[in-house]
């Protein structure tokens, strides 16, 4: 319904996603947000509307794809998108209707009693330059498997994207293949198997690919294996501009999040560097060209997954130090939130609601003293589905017409 009420004006909407923002008590009963020294965020919170969003549904732990689609205004239950597509698009790879895309993680394995055991699922988060060297090595040696073309691109740190291009159209369920990542160290990688005839055809090619990868990486000291996650085919998505009448862009460093933005029709902007300051400079340079800006910050999630609560605190504090520069742009509507919670206590994504700060001229404000999970629970926005966040941003930018007589 909201699409039919959307109108255009000159307001600027800024959505900042601190990936995996929400947490649980880790030190003296405090979460990472409560431990962080963040005077700028806390001051802004006093003048803003606070609340909590539920990324998918009560009790459901979301991946990054569903988490972002929800806050972009797309029902993550209706639009189920594989991670491989997002990684590939984010790296600028072409994805066709005959393709299967998957994300690869370089990993460290050891061979013991004829078995392969995963020692490190992320190969120590190898430097991106090392990733590029190893990926070139694979690409030079694997170009085609049984008539299926293979394209490999290096991502950030341990991540890669692989596209398998088949010589014929594939049925829509050809991506139904299990991940090979066992999700825990000390276990054997899983063998990729299809759930039906068409996906088993793809899985057979993938098994041959992994065999070649194992042979080529055998002499690597750290990244000597690859785990695969998120087999996917290209989906059909409604365009962000057509739905919300917003010229949108994404300022994101990590490929997956660039891919998510690209998938819904946002322009993905090149960032000359990988720091938050670099991202802010990019944001500033295009401020006059767009209506909607998506700024993504990854490391809050990375440190949460590593169980490093002080690392996560440091990222929050670094963001707080840069917040005055962002506020100088004077967005009409500013939202600061996460795509999901990643408590360092759990070392992974969780089902917990996610803190939301919404700043505009049209909020009550003065319901909280700081930006934390507990304070957000007291806020005027309450607890709401993430997919409704875009409605609130549109309303606060006066971009929604009245419904009914």
Please answer whether residues 331 and 12 qualify as being in contact, where contact means their C-beta atoms are separated by less than 8 angstroms. yes
Closest CA to 18 of 5, 4, 32: 32
103 membership: H or E segment, kind and range:
strand 99-112
Q: Is the sign of the CA dihedral 341, 345, 351, 352 positive or negative? A: negative
| Average pLDDT over every residue of 194-215 | 93
Give 396's pLDDT tier (boundaries 50, 70, 90): very high
Please answer whether residues 53 and 389 qualify as being in contact, where contact means their C-beta atoms are separated by less than 8 angstroms. yes
3-state SS record for 251-302: ECCCHHHHHHHHHCCCEECCCCCCCHHHHHHHHHHCCCCCCEEEEEECHHHH
pLDDT (0 to 100) of residue 117: 85
The better pLDDT of the pair 351, 404 is held by 351
CA-to-CA distance for 246 and 234, rounded, in angstroms?
24
117-121, 166-170, 224-228, range with the lowest pLDDT: 117-121
Contacts of 11 (CB under 8 A, 6+ apart): 291, 332, 333, 397, 398, 399
Mean of pLDDT over the chain = 93
pLDDT in tens, 137-192: 999 999 999 999 999 999 888 999 999 999 988 888 899 999 998 888 888 888 99
Please answer whether residues 118 and 107 qualify as being in contact, where contact means their C-beta atoms are separated by less than 8 angstroms. yes
pLDDT (0 to 100) of residue 182: 87
Domain parsing of the chain, residue ranges: 2-80+237-396, 86-232
| Average pLDDT over every residue of 92-96 | 82
pLDDT in tens, 241-295: 999 999 999 999 987 888 889 889 999 999 998 899 999 999 999 999 999 999 9
When computed from its CA atoms, the radius of gyration of the chain, rounded to whole angstroms, is 22
From 3.40.50.300, 3.40.720.10, 3.30.300.180, 3.30.70.20, which CATH number describes the 2-80+237-396 domain? Answer: 3.40.720.10
Answering whether pTM is above 0.85, one says no
pLDDT (0 to 100) of residue 56: 96
CA-to-CA distance for 268 and 380, rounded, in angstroms?
33
Residue 169, Ramachandran bin (φ over 0: left; ψ between -120 and 50: alpha; else beta) = beta
CA-to-CA distance for 395 and 393, rounded, in angstroms?
5
């Amino acid at each position: 319904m909201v699409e039919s009420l959307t109108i255009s004006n000159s307001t600027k909407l800024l959505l900042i996603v601190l990936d995996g923002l929400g947490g649980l008590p880790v030190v003296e009963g405090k979460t990472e947000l409560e431990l962080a020294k963040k005077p700028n965020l806390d001051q802004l919170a006093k003048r803003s509307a606070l609340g909590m969003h539920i990324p998918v549904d009560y009790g459901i732990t979301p991946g990054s794809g569903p988490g972002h689609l929800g806050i972009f205004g797309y029902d993550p239950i209706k639009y189920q998108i594989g991670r491989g597509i997002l990684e590939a698009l984010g790296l600028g790879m072409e994805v066709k209707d005959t393709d299967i895309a998957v994300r690869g993680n370089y990993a460290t394995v050891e061979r013991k009693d004829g078995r392969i055991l995963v020692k490190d699922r992320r190969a120590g988060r190898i430097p991106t330059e090392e990733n590029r060297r190893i990926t070139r090595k694979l690409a030079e040696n694997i170009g085609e498997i049984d008539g299926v073309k293979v394209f490999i691109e290096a991502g950030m740190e341990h991540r890669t994207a692989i596209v398998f291009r088949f010589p014929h159209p594939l049925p829509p369920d050809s991506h139904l293949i299990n991940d090979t990542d066992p999700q825990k160290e000390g276990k054997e990688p899983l063998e990729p198997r299809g759930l039906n005839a068409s996906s088993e055809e793809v899985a057979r090619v993938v098994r041959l690919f992994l065999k070649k990868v194992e042979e080529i990486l055998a002499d690597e000291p750290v990244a000597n294996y690859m785990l695969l996650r998120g087999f996917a085919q290209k989906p059909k998505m409604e365009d962000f501009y057509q739905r919300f009448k917003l010229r949108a862009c994404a300022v994101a460093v990590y490929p997956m999040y660039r891919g998510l933005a690209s998938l819904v029709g946002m322009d993905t902007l090149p960032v000359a560097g990988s720091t938050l300051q670099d991202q802010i400079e990019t944001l500033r340079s295009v401020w006059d060209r767009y209506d909607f800006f998506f700024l993504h910050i990854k490391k809050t999630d990375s440190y949460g997954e590593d169980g490093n609560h002080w690392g996560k605190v440091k990222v929050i504090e670094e963001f707080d130090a840069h917040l005055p520069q962002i506020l100088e742009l004077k967005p009409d509507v500013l939202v600061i939130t996460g795509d999901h919670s990643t408590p360092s206590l759990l070392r992974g994504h969780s089902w917990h609601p996610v803190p939301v700060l919404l700043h505009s001229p049209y909020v009550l404000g003065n319901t909280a003293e700081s930006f934390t999970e507990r304070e957000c629970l007291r806020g005027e926005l309450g607890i709401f589905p993430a997919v409704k966040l875009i409605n609130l941003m549109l309303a606060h930018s006066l971009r929604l017409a009245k419904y009914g007589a």
